Chains A and B, each alone.
Chain A
Amino acid sequence: MSFKIVVLAKQVPDTANVTQDAMKEDGTVNRAVLPVIFNPDDLHALEMALSVKDKIKGSEVILLTMGPVRATEIIREALFRGADRGYLLTDRRFAGSDTLATSYALSMAIKKLWPVDLVFTGRQAIDGDTAQVGPQTAEKLGLSQITYAEKLIDIDDSSITIKRRLGRGIEIIKAPLPCLITVNQSAPRCRFRNAKLVMKYKRAASISELQERNEDYYQLFENKPYLKIDEWGVEDINADVNWLGLSGSPTKVKKIENVVFKAKENLILSDNDNDIDNLMKTLINSHIIG
């Protein structure tokens, strides 16, 4: 018995470290100046997938991502950490997809990889924070879903048992396979890169990447086929273009604004006893406290 496990991951701008120059005058985001990273929750998802592979020998972990050619970086990162192969969904016609269109594209790619036993993905991506793509992909595939997974409790040939983290508690759920699991940041951190795997996969690339660098890929992939990261477009996954990109996305952005808070006229106080006593007096006298 061995499993085919798909990990859905996304390369995202590092929104936790957005600086002033990342925002353009018109309030839109200047993606060009933002560094990109492996979406944090998705790294936890990769770890959970790899831990299943540790337990069930011979299982295969496949990283699937949708994005521009640059997103191949996260596939390589996953290979360095123990994934077996990866696919990049890249096509101009995917651009502008909202969560519904994205989950459609991902589900069509997973169907192409079928039969699949398990799908893992991060709970949410830090650029949108919607947490919608996981459940929507599960629905499109007709799979059951376990959200907010924190710990892999058990896995056998027909079911998986997961501890999930809720707002004020936990649940332990046993689900028959196949199923889709979204992983929380409270789950175990992803293992580090493995030196041998880095040596093995450091030249792994997609054809588009090598073309951009004007490198000859024919010879490379002929000798070492495992270095080839496949790229899939709309036709490769048998997708209907009407359900992709802007036309396949029911949500539209009407307006984007900068966050502006009304600045108040404020009283600046020092931390000496007098200032603080006076403030406390004011608060007590105006019945705000006391």
Chain B
Amino acid sequence: MNSIFVYCELTEEKNIADVSLELCSKGRKLANQLDVQLEAIVIGDVDEGIASQLSPYGVDVVHLAQDNRLFPYQTLPHAAIMIDLIKNEKPQIAIIGATPIGRDLAPRVASALRCGLTADCTELAIGSHVEPKTQKEYKNLLLQIRPAFGGNIIATIINPETRPQMATVREGVMKKEIVSTTYNTKISKVDIGKILKPEHFILQIIERHVEAQKINIKNANIIVAGGYGMGSKENFQMLFEFAKLIGAEVGASRAAVDAGFTESERQIGQTGVTVRPKLYIACGISGAVQHRAGMAESATIISINTDPKAPINEIADYVIIGDVNSVIPKMIKFYKQNIK
């Protein structure tokens, strides 16, 4: 039966990116439902050892395209390898992280294969569909669920006729889950000599500075997130003090990032990362639908806001009506007095 493909992105340290492991975990579940194999594609200058990072997540086959010209990522050679592999192996589903690389690669591949592609899915499922006009029934389709229209609606997209069914998924949306520490993963080497041509390397990388990921709010147990209501970059600094004290990471709403209060890597929501910590403290965040989509699954939510009607309060367990700039110092004070 036709398998599920996951394109695996490499980090600056040449490890498999978290988002790709998350997709392998989701891919494993979909593969079980469909009773097919889960296959990963790794393109870069890494050797077979890379498979050990993937096998715990239940990957059956790793297609490895190894060449020193394939790292760092470039559109044309990576697309050429993906297109060739998909044409030969004919997977029914291909999923890719909605990262800067994935969003550059996926549309190029989908266009060449003339297949449907859905961007930035927040959920993937298997389901059936009956075409209203023809009453034709499609079984075991990939249901691609994504926010649309600036996050105001949620759409379920399907590709009834074309294969593979392609989708990109944002980082943090799916959960990483280890299946087995002794999973048997086969390696299939891609014969890149037959695929790559000089014209795939016409772009020249003149300079490149990419930093390793330093901020990892996705895996934090506690997140203190600030919004536009923090008022200024200086006030925002207080959140770092509070977060350090209680062992939290600092997150931000899009409005806070756009206002320059903090860096975009901390952005939570549909255009940032999705988080589900034990505790989420929203400070001066009104809670636009796009933000709530990225944190609504937090176990406990505290909202600190001067506006009792802020939308975020609806999904909060505790709502403190007040100014963050007086509430946070009180929390800090209590914590310092009671925890050594």
Contacts and interface: CB of A to CB of B under 8 A. Distances in A.
Interface of A: 13, 15-16, 18, 22-23, 27-29, 98-100, 103, 126-136, 138-140, 144-148, 161, 166-176, 249-259, 261-264, 266-271, 273, 275-277, 279-281, 283-284, 288-290
Interface stretch (B39-47, B50-58, B312-320): B312-320
Classify the secondary structure of B's interface with A.
mixed
A283 B279 CA distance: 9
B208 A100 contact: no
B292 interface: yes
B108 A288 contact: no
Contacts of A283: 279
B156 A255 contact: yes
B246 A289 contact: yes
B258 to A, nearest CB: 10
Given A99-B107, A145-B108, A146-B203, A169 B157 contact: no
Nearest to A20: B152
B156 to A, nearest CB: 4
Interface stretch (B86-94, B184-192, B228-236, B329-337): B329-337
B157 A132 contact: no
Contacts, number: 238
B114 A100 contact: yes
Contact of B206 (A100, A129, A174, A270): A174
Given A136-B107, A139-B108, A99 B314 contact: no
B222 interface: yes
B321 A18 contact: no
A256 B153 contact: yes
Given A252-B159, A277-B330, 18 more contacts: A15-B152, A29-B153, A136-B107, A167-B99, A168-B210, A171-B208, A173-B204, A174-B204, A254-B129, A257-B155, A261-B314, A263-B314, A264-B315, A266-B313, A266-B316, A276-B331, A289-B279, A290-B335
A144 B198 CA distance: 13
Contacts of B246: 289-290
A263 B318 CA distance: 12
A128 B241 CA distance: 38
A226 B210 CA distance: 46
A127 B161 contact: no
A103 B320 contact: no
A15 B271 CA distance: 14
Contact of B115 (A135, A250, A267): A250
A175 B204 CA distance: 7
Contacts of A27: 153
A165 to B, nearest CB: 8
A167 B100 contact: yes
Contacts of A136: 107-108, 110-111
Interface in B124-169: 129, 143, 147-162
A250 B107 contact: no
B315 to A, nearest CB: 5
Contact of A132 (B107, B279, B302, B317): B107
5 contacts: A144-B75, A170-B210, A256-B154, A276-B327, A289-B279
Interface of B: 75-76, 79, 99-100, 103-104, 106-108, 110-112, 114-120, 129, 143, 147-162, 202-213, 222, 246-247, 265, 271, 278-279, 289, 292-293, 296, 300-302, 308, 313-323, 326-327, 330-331, 334-335, 338-339
A85 B301 CA distance: 53
A221 to B, nearest CB: 37
Q: By CB atoms of chain A within 10 A, which of B107, B151, B157 has the most?
A: B107
B129 A15 contact: no
A264 to B, nearest CB: 6
Nearest to A265: B317
A99 B117 contact: yes
B111 A139 contact: yes
Contacts of B99: 167
Contacts of A271: 320-323, 326-327, 330
A253 B156 contact: yes
B209 A18 contact: no
A279 B321 CA distance: 13
A259 B154 contact: yes
A138 B108 contact: yes
A90 B160 CA distance: 27
A172 B157 contact: no
A92 to B, nearest CB: 18
B222 A289 contact: yes
Contacts of A250: 114-116, 159, 161-162
A161 B157 contact: no
A34 B3 CA distance: 43
Contacts of B152: 15, 18, 22-23, 29, 258-259
B155 A253 contact: yes
A166 B150 contact: no
Contact of A173 (B150, B206, B212): B206
B117 A263 contact: no
A251 B104 contact: no
B335 A135 contact: no
A174 B213 contact: no
Given A98-B116, A254-B157, A289-B279, A161 B206 contact: yes
Name the residue among B118, B213, B301 with the largest chain A CB count within 10 angstroms.
B118
